[in-house]
Chains A and B, each alone.
Chain A
């Protein structure tokens, strides 16, 4: 049975997948329904399809990544595409080539799909205007990480059976988080009550205009929530004194057994990874199999990305 009622679904027909902002509810429903069959496939012994046979997928990563890169790589390979990973350390960007020049060079090799991660917001949009193939945004600066939000929605839907009406708290470094932004767009669109919890120095300006409730302490913010989405402290993005110390941050904003008591008894924990254990989350809580669905998120990631690749390839024809 389909995850959502199929009559609610409308196929996503755009060329690129650059952000959740560009999606509608029926399109999200369609992507998640498509993902479901891949979840089942990925659990089988033979995981190989030939839907993307003969297609070339280039994963162009300007920021280091382990799970997103490997997730996209697996997704492409399981669909039968030829997958190439390009890492910034091997790239001419280091020698002064601009993003557009790199894009033009790759474009000349006739890829069918480019998966890009870049430290600058809008990089995927810029790239998509310069190449002929489909572009998937695998994270641009602080702006969007659409497949992460889709896989988070998939995980919630699979686990709880619904998104609408859930109370979901996103906690941590909201300001520097593309995961937070994409999730806020998607979850509010799907009818969840989304809360953001962060020290005010890590709260982006005007975030309340995104339709979320804003909290600066965990006790109030976590009250009665169904899902707690912890964000990674982006220590490498801190260019000022946003927090006095990780020790103080842990005391007031990390998720531990004490703070989680304010949430619903069966509240679930999510984290986009990689985790800073002992900074934003208690180490043993992250591994609590009754609470944590972090591993399921990774599993859903491959399925959702397979669905995205499939849909964009169909759109090319």
Chain B
């Protein structure tokens, strides 16, 4: 008999008395989840009760919510090359403490994940070192240079779930045209963070009043619009698989809806930071809030929330970008972009439920079912036969974000000292309890 990570023989277990939300299977009911010896879901729903699961390990989750393990669609893992910012082990610990069981990682590493041998290397590293499930994106262009396309076909055979230049955006129209064209052959997913390099050159903050006050070079929101317009124009020629990684501007949604009304099919994402914060939060040069794309106005934030609500935006991501002290202890102009946020991701998303902006179902869908579908990941729902990746949440529990309590190797949280409501209490990965408060 095999042993699990706690050294106990594997046995059946059951979560009972939880409110189960599984949007893919349209489940929202008080019930249980029966997990088989191999860690797969055997049964789910109100029929699963203490009385009919037999002699199994019982987790009574009364008054708690059980959802499929969260899939974080945009994560910078640090491997290879930036292990001092984050490695698979620290990432895993941070992730499970926030209910995240699968992540989609970015190829902005050193070396860049742009060929099969590097891809195979990180796949093996992830298998050996990571607790959570790592799904890697490979780069769209070699060395992220924006010039030559990578081996979409071979990388896909190796397991790449899609292609992106991550924090970079392919600028050349001709190269992007070829990407859309060639990706169609390989049925490869293109993921892009839309931003025009020239319009955003040297910019570090949203262009507007705050930028003018702080004396910083701004990035106009139309730096995002022109690239979305271009990509969707090209997409309409080829109908490839396309996902807009991050949106920051409310007006982008208008453009997106225009193209959707022409039956152009694609998906979009937003970071939880852009749903929770705006440019005012930067205050007096808070470098942890220097993000790419930049935080924009309160109106943009509200528009983006509305975008999630009405389905224009499909997924919410943490955009977890761990940065070491040295990269952030600089002037706002010179410091690195990004914030570490995988472990606060779910709780921060719940803020939008508690303040009445989003339904719980909408949030759950945007962090489980939808990313699973977009990236083709076997997770995000809990029907019979699925791996039992489960997050159990105490929806009401209040807590305060503290840097020194963070699991991630880098502590650059954008929401230091923020009071949150709702915390992950247990995380199951392949049926095993891997995190408990």
How far apart are A106's CB and chain B's nearest CB, in angstroms? 16
* Chain B 317-339 interface 0/1 with A at a Cβ cutoff of 8 Å (1 = within): 00000000010011111100000
If A143-B214, A239-B201 touch, whether A122 touches B284 (CB-CB below 8 Å) is: yes
Contact B211 A125 (CB under 8 A): no
Contact pick for A100, options B213, B329, B333, CB 8 Å: B329
* Chain A 122-165 interface 0/1 with B at a Cβ cutoff of 8 Å (1 = within): 11011000000000000011111000000000000000000000
Q: Which residues of A contact B326 (CB under 8 A)?
A: 98
Contact A120 B331 (CB under 8 A): yes
- 9-residue interface stretch from B53-61, B202-210, B306-314: B202-210
- 9-residue interface stretch from A107-115, A199-207, A250-258: A199-207
Tell me the bound Cα distance from A178 to B326 in angstroms: 27
If A121-B331, A121-B332 touch, whether A205 touches B218 (CB-CB below 8 Å) is: yes
> Is A232 interfacial (CB 8 A cutoff)?
no
Q: Which residues of B contact A207 (CB under 8 A)?
A: 212
> Is A118 interfacial (CB 8 A cutoff)?
yes
Q: How many residues of A contact B (CB 8 A)?
A: 25
Contact A141 B333 (CB under 8 A): yes
Q: Which residues of B contact A100 (CB under 8 A)?
A: 329-330
> Is A99 interfacial (CB 8 A cutoff)?
yes
Q: Which residues of B contact A245 (CB under 8 A)?
A: none
Chain B binding surface SS class: loop
Q: Which residues of B contact A121 (CB under 8 A)?
A: 214-216, 285, 331-333
Tell me the bound Cα distance from A150 to B330 in angstroms: 28
In this complex, what residue of B is CB-closest to A21?
B213
Within 227-275 of A, Cβ neighbours of B (below 8 Å) are at 239-240
* Chain A 272-294 interface 0/1 with B at a Cβ cutoff of 8 Å (1 = within): 00000000000000000000000
Q: How many residues of B contact A (CB 8 A)?
A: 21
In this complex, what residue of A is CB-closest to B215?
A143
Contact B284 A142 (CB under 8 A): no
If A140-B215, A239-B201 touch, whether A125 touches B284 (CB-CB below 8 Å) is: yes
Tell me the bound Cα distance from A197 to B213 in angstroms: 18
Contact A126 B331 (CB under 8 A): yes
If A125-B284, A126-B285, A206-B208 touch, whether A141 touches B330 (CB-CB below 8 Å) is: no
Q: Which residues of A contact B212 (CB under 8 A)?
A: 181, 204-207, 210
Tell me the bound Cα distance from A240 to B326 in angstroms: 30
Tell me the bound Cα distance from A142 to B333 in angstroms: 11
Tell me the bound Cα distance from A210 to B216 in angstroms: 16
Residue from B201, B207, B209, B331 whose CB has the most chain A CB atoms within 10 Å: B331
In this complex, what residue of B is CB-closest to A118?
B331
Tell me the bound Cα distance from A205 to B279 in angstroms: 15
If A99-B331, A100-B329, A121-B333 touch, whether A142 touches B207 (CB-CB below 8 Å) is: no
Q: Which residues of B contact A125 (CB under 8 A)?
A: 284-285
> Is A46 interfacial (CB 8 A cutoff)?
no
Q: Which residues of A contact B211 (CB under 8 A)?
A: 204-205
Q: Which residues of B contact A240 (CB under 8 A)?
A: 201
Q: Which residues of B contact A126 (CB under 8 A)?
A: 285, 331
Contact pick for A123, options B207, B213, B218, B331, CB 8 Å: B331
Contact A239 B208 (CB under 8 A): no
> Is A209 interfacial (CB 8 A cutoff)?
yes
* Chain A 179-215 interface 0/1 with B at a Cβ cutoff of 8 Å (1 = within): 0010000000000000000000000111101100000
Tell me the bound Cα distance from A141 to B285 in angstroms: 13
Q: Which residues of B contact A206 (CB under 8 A)?
A: 208-209, 212
Q: Which residues of A contact B330 (CB under 8 A)?
A: 98-100
Q: Which residues of A contact B215 (CB under 8 A)?
A: 121-122, 140-144, 178, 181
In this complex, what residue of B is CB-closest to A140?
B215
Tell me the bound Cα distance from A122 to B289 in angstroms: 14
Q: Which residues of B contact A142 (CB under 8 A)?
A: 215-216
Tell me the bound Cα distance from A123 to B213 in angstroms: 14
Q: Which residues of B contact A143 (CB under 8 A)?
A: 214-216
How far apart are B295's CB and chain A's nearest CB, in angstroms? 16
Contact B209 A122 (CB under 8 A): no
Q: Which residues of A contact B202 (CB under 8 A)?
A: 239
How far apart are A43's CB and chain B's nearest CB, in angstroms? 35
Tell me the bound Cα distance from A121 to B216 in angstroms: 6
Q: Which residues of B contact A122 (CB under 8 A)?
A: 214-216, 284-285, 331-333
Q: Which residues of B contact A239 (CB under 8 A)?
A: 201-202
Contact B209 A205 (CB under 8 A): yes
In this complex, what residue of A is CB-closest to B218?
A205
Residue from A121, A206, A207, A209 whose CB has the most chain B CB atoms within 10 Å: A121
Q: Which residues of A contact B207 (CB under 8 A)?
A: 205
* Chain A 66-107 interface 0/1 with B at a Cβ cutoff of 8 Å (1 = within): 000000000000000000000000000000001110000000
Tell me the bound Cα distance from A122 to B218 in angstroms: 15
In this complex, what residue of A is CB-closest to B329?
A100
14 A-B pairs within 8 Å (CB atoms) are namely A100-B329, A118-B331, A121-B214, A121-B285, A121-B333, A122-B214, A142-B216, A204-B211, A205-B207, A205-B211, A206-B212, A207-B212, A239-B202, A240-B201
Which residue numbers of B lie inside 8 Å of A, CB to CB? 201-202, 207-209, 211-216, 218, 284-285, 326, 329-334
Closest A-B pairs by Cβ, 9 of them: A143-B215, A142-B215, A120-B331, A121-B215, A122-B285, A206-B209, A204-B212, A120-B333, A141-B215
Question: Told that A98-B330, A122-B215, A141-B216 touch, could you supply 14 new A-B pairs with CB distance under 8 A?
Answer: A98-B326, A100-B329, A120-B331, A121-B214, A121-B331, A126-B285, A141-B333, A142-B216, A143-B216, A204-B212, A205-B209, A206-B209, A206-B212, A207-B212
